[in-house]
Amino acid sequence: MAGRMLRLDDLISIGPAMLRDFELLGIRSVAQLARQNPQRMYETLGRVAGQHQDICVLDVFCAAVAQAKNPRLPARQCEWSYWSKKRKTGKK
């Protein structure tokens, strides 16, 4: 990825379904994603989609925003499962 801008689909844990969610939220770039709050994204997606979202979506949002803010984030923190464990243990 050296020499080019990071794209949303370059982020770890981000697949087609999450890209559609980003589109629903109006997020079209990594720079835009870096300015987001994962909790607010999760709440907004529930309203926009008109249905409750699985809590793991929040974990994916946390992983994505963390990567967008820090391209050198340790690999394990790029995985949604890291954020899931963190959420379940209540660690900030």
Distance CA 10, CA 7 (A): 5
Q: Is 16 a member of any domain? A: yes
Q: Is 20 a member of any domain? A: yes
Contact of 41 with 32, CB cutoff 8 Å: no
For 73, the domain range is 8-89
Distance CA 77, CA 75 (A): 5
Q: Is 55 a member of any domain? A: yes
Residues 6+ apart with CB under 8 A from 30: 5, 6, 7, 8, 10, 11, 68
Q: Residue 80 is encoded by which pair of tokens? A: 């949604």
What's the pTM?
0.91
Which tens digits make up the pLDDT trace of 37-77?
999 999 999 999 999 999 999 999 999 999 999 989 999 99
Q: Is 2 a member of any domain? A: no
